[in-house]
Each structure stands twice: as C-alpha cells, then as structure tokens.
Structure 1
Amino acid sequence: MPFARAADGAALHYRVHPVSGCSGEAVPLVLLSGQSNDHHWWDAVRAGFGARFTTVVMDWRGTGESDRPDTDSYSTPGFARDVLAVLDHAGIARAHVYGTSMGGRVAQWLAVDHPARVARLVLGCTSPGAPHGVERGPDVRRALAGSDAVAAERALRELMYTPGWLAEHRGPLHTLGDPTMPAHARRRHLRASARHDAWDALPRITAPTLVVHGTDDAFNPTANAPLLTSRIPGARMALVPGARHAYFEEFAAIATPLVLDFLSEPAEPDEPGASSGTAAPPAS
C-alpha cells in the first residue's frame, strides 16, 4: 500500500488503480470522498470510471489507513495540500479532480491554489461554505445530533438515499462514515468542513468545471449548486432529478456517464495545459 507524507509528516494512504480498458485517457482521475469517510466511499462506482481513467483514491488524515493526528492540521485547504502530497508521491503532474461533499470543498482549494495540477474539476453535492452557502435546516441538524445513535444513523441513511433504494440495498453502505475513526478525528473533520469558506476565491478557478447535485438533497441543500456555478467562471451545472446526497451511487447510471462525458471532452485551445503531458508512473 503506498503512503505519501504530508508536510507535517502525517502518512497518507492512497491507491492508484490503472485503467481497466485496453486504452484510457492520459489524464488520471482523483476521486475525493466526503467528511469522515475513507476511500471506500467510492467502492460502488469507481469501476465505472476505471474503464476509461486511471483512478486515484485516498484516505483523509483521520480515516482509513492514514495517520490520525490530534492536532490543528485539519482544514479544507490543509486537506488540499494532503491531496497534492499524494499526487507528488504518485508522480502525477496533472489530474482531473472529482470531489463530493467535503471532498468537493477540498477540490475547490486544490483548483484555486494549484491550478496547473487540475485539468478538469467536478464538484458534487458540495457548497462554497459559510457564510454564503445554504446550510442544512435545523430539523436535519437535530436528527443527526440526537442522543439515539440508531435514530441518527437512520436519519443519515435517509438523507443519503431514497427510501426505495434503501429497501433494496441493506448494505454495507460506505458513505456513512469510517467506523474506525477516533472521536477526535471526527470532531476535527466536522470542524474543518463547517469552517470552509471559498467564496472569495472561487472566481480564481480556471479549470473547466462541472457542478453536480441531486434535486432532493437536504443534507447539503441543492441551492448550493447554482451558487457555486455562478461564482466559478464558465462553470456548468447538472441536477440529478430525485437524487439525495449520495446521488453518485444511487443514480450512478445517470451521474457516472454525465461526469465521464464532461471529463472526456476535447480540451479547448486556451485551456491550461491543453497540450502538456500529465502523468508519470506512480512512485513505489
């Protein structure tokens, strides 16, 4: 298992999956998971991207096989620097980046602060952050923060998926959080995501950007999608009808081709890095 080293020395676990088809796109695809989740967030859908792209998944600090420091090193800009450390260790000069939920917040900073490293950007079920984003309602907050752990998990499941889908998919569900996370890491992930605010920086994003959201997402309200789209120059928006927060899994038959088509579009002549090489073999 490869590990990159963050600037503070934290070990960051990641995996590179070579393209499974006979030939693939030259630019690899980095998939960034949601808050308090590890790389298994993508297990149900990664193969759908792997037929065309070499994919890279990672465990955030505090999750999975990565280190879990109890320090003030958890923030969305900090997580973006962790992604950069993974790209450097894997020998990837430039990649497409698809971030969902908190991963989308991290992806915003990666595209702002390191534009040469991001070919195309997909922001899924995410937001620009406070104070300009639309926060979840008080009823959702109460349901998730209740003292009854079983009821809170049931509420989370229903925020992620539709009742019909849940009736047919008993699990395991890999979008409900890494059960091995220590309490301090959960608190720090929550604080990092809650403090995200990229509003003033979003107009500096130069990568072609697609914003994707489910129309029935109450966990991260759908109203954030047009806000992001309006702030990022040239961004496009696609809404998945009837989808909740985990649109990318439940509605993969719609969402995966949508994202693949966007990522596979020919680069515009003035697109940054349109004619440059993008990938090197992963470091051992």
Structure 2
Amino acid sequence: MTDTLHFAAGDGARVAYRLDGPEDRPVLMLSNSIATTFHMWDGQVAELAKSFRVLRYDFRGHGGSDAPAGAYSLDRLGRDVLELLDFLGIDRVHFLGLSLGGFVGQWLGIHAPERIERLILSNTSPHLGPASYFDGQIRSVLAARDLSATADMFMHNWFPASMLAGRNETVEQFHAAILTMSPQGLAGCFASVRDADLRRPISLITAPTLVIGGVDDKVTLASHSQAIAAAIPGAELVLLPGVHLLNVERPAEFMDAVMGFLGVEQER
C-alpha cells in the first residue's frame, strides 16, 4: 500500500491519488461521488486489491486535490483521469465510477475507448436537471457560513431512513467529511453535473459495461440506470434494493456484482 500521492494536471491543479495492491495485477480505477473522497471506497479496497492494482483519486475540489476557482467541466474531469494514467504510464484500466464518477466513466467510454477495458457505471445518469437546481446548489454552498445544510442534504440523498434514524457511525463519518470540504470545489463539480448531457453519445460506448442502480435512489433514479443500459450496446444491468451509495449501504451485493462482472470469484 502507498500513502496519498499527487500529480499536476494539465492546467497545474494538483490531484491526489492512491495505489493499493500488487503492481503486477490489472489496474482497476475507482471514481467516487461528488462530496466524497477516495475514502468512499475504503470498505472495498482490501478485497479488490487481492485481484487488482487499485487506483483511487480525489476529484479536483475534493479531499487532497486542489480546488481551482470557477466551474469545472466534465471534459476537464475526464482529462484529469487520462493525465493521471499517462503520468503513471498506465495504458488501460477497468473503470468503476459511482455517481459523478459514473459521469466520468461514461465520458471516458465515449472519448477514450482505447483506455477502458471493462466499465462499471453505478448510481449515475447521462443527464441530471434542471440546470436551475444546480445553480441554486452552487449559490448555496458559496454563500453558506458552513456546509452543514449541504451535508444534511447529501445524507438524505445517499442513505436509507434506516441508516439515518439515530446515530450511525458511517453516516456521521460521511457527514463530517463534507464539513471540511472546499465550497469552491463542491460548486465547481456541481457545475460539471449541471452542464453534462451524455444521453446521445453514450450509445458510442464499446467497452463491456455493467450498470448498477439503486431501486430507491432519489438522485440517479433506477430509470436512469435502465436508460444507460438500454443505450450502451450489450450492457448488463443490476438493480439493487438500496439508495445511492450502494457500495456503503449494500456492500456484499455490490461487490458480488462488481467482481462477477470482472471475472473474479470471491472467497466466502
């Protein structure tokens, strides 16, 4: 295992990343949700690292990465991934993206198919609207004295009522992490979602693709997952009984779907 490392993206922004697992294994790259860091995957890395060289990173504006001023585009977030792979000398990866990470995964499948071996798109959408909603979120995070209201909103979007009732250490950790984030970084990534519309070009994705959705997801609806799977030729679809952060809420079922698609038999 390695500690957090950094590289400079093409525009000079420093992006944090981490590698786990044997150097001689195929690379599996993980891309997380807005308002989280690569620690969102902590519960999966030990198992994944038995079979893969696991590459995680923080979006610009999040965690250990820089938070440049201004709106971030999905193109810029996608190029951050490609520039990181170039920096590390990695030609091709399996790519697992959840939520905003899934937007990036779709972008990569469209614009850099030669870099993607197998693609997993979890709890994501090709387009979310209306734009006015994201404009409101941007104004709110930039004007707020703290991010407690934003953190509360994300908790209700990410987790089921059963996890929000009473004290829950996992929920509290995710909530606390948002309070330390850069308002500019959150606003920049909100803008990338606001401006993204991949509904037409995702039909160009040729990588073998698994789409995972949550039956009770309030943000990226199950119907969004169904639409992605219908648009990408040959894509597989798995709907799990859960909300948004399925790797956290439903870790066993989530890992069964991921490892099965990647051709790895899990130890029981």
TM-score range, shorter-chain basis? Answer: 0.7 to 0.9
1:11 maps to what in 2?
A: 14
- Give the counterpart letter for 1:40 in structure 2: H
Distance 1:232 1:176 in 2: 37
Q: Percent of pairs identical after alignment?
A: 30
Q: 1:203-237 CA deviation, whole Å, 9 max, x = no partner?
A: 11110000001101112222101110111111110
1:121 maps to what in 2?
A: 119
TM-score, with structure 2 as normaliser: 0.84
Distance 1:165 1:62 in 2: 27
2:212 maps to what in 1?
A: 212
Is there any run of 5+ residues in structure 2 with no aligned partner, and where?
none
1:51 maps to what in 2?
A: 50
1:157 maps to what in 2?
A: 155
2:224 maps to what in 1?
A: 224
Kindly indicate whether the alpha-carbon contact (under 8 Å) linking 2:116 and 2:207 is maintained by their aligned counterparts in 1. yes
* 59-68 vs 100-109, which moves further: 59-68
Higher relative contact order (CA 8 A, sep 6+): 1
Is there any run of 5+ residues in structure 1 with no aligned partner, and where?
266-284
Report deviation, 1:89.
1.6
Report deviation, 1:103.
0.6
Q: 1:186-210 CA deviation, whole Å, 9 max, x = no partner?
A: 2111111121111121011110000
Distance 1:58 1:88 in 2: 14
Kindly indicate whether the alpha-carbon contact (under 8 Å) linking 2:208 and 2:235 is maintained by their aligned counterparts in 1. yes
Q: 1:82 to 1:49 in 2, by over 3 A?
A: same
Distance 1:186 1:150 in 2: 13
Distance 2:178 2:148 in 1: 16
Q: 1:67-102 CA deviation, whole Å, 9 max, x = no partner?
A: 211144x11121011011111122211100000001
Q: 1:174 to 1:49 in 2, by over 3 A?
A: farther
2:95 maps to what in 1?
A: 97
Distance 1:116 1:175 in 2: 37
2:197 maps to what in 1?
A: 197
SS for the counterpart of 1:110 is helix
2:244 maps to what in 1?
A: 245
Distance 2:173 2:24 in 1: 30
SS for the counterpart of 1:189 is helix
Q: 1:32-74 CA deviation, whole Å, 9 max, x = no partner?
A: 01113221221222223222211110011111221211144x1
Report deviation, 1:7.
1.3
SS for the counterpart of 1:119 is strand
Distance 1:182 1:175 in 2: 14
Kindly indicate whether the alpha-carbon contact (under 8 Å) linking 2:94 and 2:119 is maintained by their aligned counterparts in 1. yes
Report deviation, 1:156.
2.8
Q: Give the CA RMSD over aligned residues.
A: 2.8
- Give the counterpart letter for 2:162 in structure 1: G
Distance 1:85 1:71 in 2: 20
Report deviation, 1:155.
4.3
Q: 1:233 to 1:98 in 2, by over 3 A?
A: same
Kindly indicate whether the alpha-carbon contact (under 8 Å) linking 1:63 and 1:181 is maintained by their aligned counterparts in 2. yes
SS for the counterpart of 1:8 is coil
SS for the counterpart of 1:51 is coil
